[in-house]
Structure 1
């Protein structure tokens, strides 16, 4: 009895010792040497008798795009002994035909580095799908039962990409709105995801922006869903770009066809509890081109200078009563819809009663609801030197072209200033620079000229003139005698 007990203890003790000594084995398996364009390459890492607790990124392969990652596990019981394996698989999709090299790489699994020598992969034309016996199966059921490789299918989508314009005909200087958006119907079942929208837009805008127009970009930073309805259906709109363009010259502006790439997932035909049930793929959508006719402005002396838009005058004057010679501020604000940046300084008429100085300028531009609106303010410092009732409409005006009414219009102030006090006109003149002959006072000599020199000079000129007359008479007489 005692001997049997000792034997059991001995066996138990050595069993405890040897159980941890079962080797932890990590195997890196690479996909086949040759795959078709419609097939995937894979790198599989399998660890025995342990779980995959951590791992770093799988290597990139030139000529391939990384797809999804799946995991699988299995457990076997043989003669009472239990063994297990855990695997993680990275899939790669080829982007073109050719021969590509997967260089040797190292991957860290559970804190330890494991290396693979890499291989050469030959990508050939697409071929009919068939199950390859030499490709490892990423899905294993428990207890060694093998699950068939999942079949991924593409779901038909109800989506499109489009460019939109709000006007097909504008005047020079009149803005038209351009937007780019991805649309999905409410009933769409195909799974989509945006693919590098910022990078795609950089390339698109280089080709799309007209060279003869000013751009006001709405600067979309977050792509937000918006519900819209047309053609009897409800759509989810994802706007990726919006801007208003203000053309500088007449002619035609073309918005070219634009391609937009989206990630479109293929889904597993028979979804499984293990592994990934969708596979990353790509689909490119194309918008149609758009044309905008740009018309010249009607004849006008200032047609190459005026702003174009729908504008109003906003006055802001601190006081309507003023003293002669004392300054006050007057704000001439132009607000409305149009190219706020192009608004020029109002024209002023200077008279001795009213003195103005260069204005301070402030502007605010608002981008929203497909329009560019805002205000540009010109703040003047004014002085009036003679008592009177001053109508500011006689001194300020701003001419623009209204594209809605197709005519030129003028904004003039409505403010009237009552000026009281003594006339400061003479004081204002004395403070001004007279110019002309008065500028020579400080630089000319103040010495008196000697009058005798002027007398001799006059005699010399008279004698010269008399001699000329006598010489002319002699010449005429000789010609007559001859």
Structure 2
């Protein structure tokens, strides 16, 4: 081959390589632009950075906009801390017919000694993707006598429930925090394997997902509302029963709220573990051993007669309320928040009652659910965010105008949360109102000027679609170039 032919071939090759490099740069640029457009649904948070030796340092992952809770794996080892139980909460906002859910999955790490510790960057696995956190500093102090007493009381509650089984080195326990509840009153259920610190046998978990699916078919009561704690990793929790130290491997946990007065019978269930022993030749010998739980019965009591007996929620609640102005004017709209806070079936809480619609025009609320699943109970708040328009002038107490009825199991009677607001309203009395306000917070501000026929432009979606189209074009061009 002549020198000119070789040089010509090299020039063609170099041109192709240059085009290929330019294409890669452009493709990489488009990919970065697209990734910047897409919002990151994950956020890492730290809490408990100044704690006592009996409190946890908590790492949380907040997930916004996903339909399902992702699979999250937190680090097993953090120096000077021990990984224990996890918890989950959900915040649901319903605004203008649109529902946005934010999940917070939290992992607790308990300190093993006092001091100031530097926590470096951590890697958290979320749906097989790695999230990296920034570092932080945790200060751990000694616990006070009151704090130590609170921990002892929690241990005593556990001991009373499991003391009959504590003579065994390993046992399976289906335990509940209450064996007698009212209709709609929650009880917490745990499925745990407890292993004594004196147990010398080496064991490992076996087909957890398959076993759990079969066990839950037997354990989940059909006549209950379930609030699952969403255990994704089996934690090892040190507890003391009758002075003996055990490790609790918590496999499943949920709170159940009975919907009728039928007693709940939880049957005995089995759980297989891999037992590992050594043969005479020194090799590992694996065998399966099944542990069985004791059956349980939960008695369900009917609520006392009441006109709203089939609608009320059972639990311990308090009222938090707020209106965005204490000086109101007739014809203007104001935001009024009625928050029911406490322990119970937060999800099923219904709206409060408004009795005098001649005083206000009240518009359907935006609703916010904040449910926290931790420490063997369901707690949180449900907030109803109203737009109200006063129609009469004067001084008014809302005590008899806005209220919410529930059943208090501690007092064993119905109770009522009533508004405590006293309002001074000025202006002329009006009959017909429109949702207008000078308040910048109102989502209805200027609603009469909106053009419902005018399409809403979603620029973020348009940019994302353009980026996708460009990527497809680049792929087609790349195929054409390589064919040449």
> Within the alignment, does 1:238 sit opposite 2:244 as a pair?
no
Given candidates 315, 320, 327, the residue that maps to 1:321 is 327
Alpha-carbon offset, residue 423 of structure 1: 2.4
After superposition, the C-alpha distances for 1:288-328 in whole angstroms (9 at most, x for unaligned) are 10100000001111111111111110112211111111010
Given candidates 366, 371, 375, the residue that maps to 2:377 is 371
Instruction: Tell me the TM-score normalised to structure 2 length.
Output: 0.54
> Within the alignment, does 1:356 sit opposite 2:362 as a pair?
yes
Whole-angstrom CA distance in 1 between matches of 2:252 and 2:293: 13
Secondary structure of 1:399's aligned partner: strand
Whole-angstrom CA distance in 2 between matches of 1:283 and 1:361: 49
Secondary structure of 2:215's aligned partner: helix
Q: Which residue is equivalent to 1:282?
A: 288
> Within the alignment, does 1:392 sit opposite 2:398 as a pair?
yes
- The equivalences for 1:293-442 within 5 A come to 293-425=299-431, 427-428=432-433
User: What are the ranges of 5 or more consecutive residues in structure 1 without an aligned counterpart?
Assistant: 1-156, 272-276, 430-482
Secondary structure of 1:207's aligned partner: helix
After superposition, the C-alpha distances for 1:149-169 in whole angstroms (9 at most, x for unaligned) are xxxxxxxx9211111011110
Q: Which residue is equivalent to 1:76?
A: none
Alpha-carbon offset, residue 214 of structure 1: 0.6
Q: Which residue is equivalent to 1:210?
A: 221
> Within the alignment, does 1:200 sit opposite 2:220 as a pair?
no
> Within the alignment, does 1:220 sit opposite 2:236 as a pair?
no
Does the aligned pair in 1 maintain the 2:345–2:378 contact within 8 Å? yes
After superposition, the C-alpha distances for 1:353-380 in whole angstroms (9 at most, x for unaligned) are 2111111111011101000001101111
Q: Which residue is equivalent to 2:189?
A: 178
Q: Which residue is equivalent to 1:250?
A: 261
Q: Which has the larger radius of gyration?
A: 1
> Within the alignment, does 1:259 sit opposite 2:265 as a pair?
no
Secondary structure of 1:294's aligned partner: strand
Whole-angstrom CA distance in 1 between matches of 2:255 and 2:306: 26
Whole-angstrom CA distance in 2 between matches of 1:421 and 1:353: 13
Given candidates 152, 159, 166, the residue that maps to 2:170 is 159
Alpha-carbon offset, residue 269 of structure 1: 3.8
Does the aligned pair in 1 maintain the 2:218–2:269 contact within 8 Å? no
Moved more, 255-264 or 224-233: 224-233
Instruction: Tell me the TM-score normalised to structure 1 length.
Output: 0.54
Alpha-carbon offset, residue 270 of structure 1: 5.6
Secondary structure of 1:393's aligned partner: coil
Alpha-carbon offset, residue 428 of structure 1: 4.9
User: What are the ranges of 5 or more consecutive residues in structure 2 without an aligned counterpart?
Assistant: 1-167, 435-484
Whole-angstrom CA distance in 2 between matches of 1:428 and 1:228: 62
Alpha-carbon offset, residue 278 of structure 1: 1.4
Whole-angstrom CA distance in 2 between matches of 1:203 and 1:428: 58
Alpha-carbon offset, residue 222 of structure 1: 0.6
After superposition, the C-alpha distances for 1:95-114 in whole angstroms (9 at most, x for unaligned) are xxxxxxxxxxxxxxxxxxxx
Q: Which residue is equivalent to 1:62?
A: none
* Count of equivalent residues: 267
> Within the alignment, does 1:189 sit opposite 2:231 as a pair?
no
Whole-angstrom CA distance in 2 between matches of 1:211 and 1:259: 20
Secondary structure of 1:372's aligned partner: strand
Whole-angstrom CA distance in 1 between matches of 2:306 and 2:404: 14
Q: 1:330 to 1:428 in 2, by over 3 A?
A: closer
Alpha-carbon offset, residue 231 of structure 1: 2.4
Cα RMSD of the aligned pairs, angstroms, is 1.5
Does the aligned pair in 1 maintain the 2:361–2:433 contact within 8 Å? no
Q: 1:368 to 1:428 in 2, by over 3 A?
A: closer
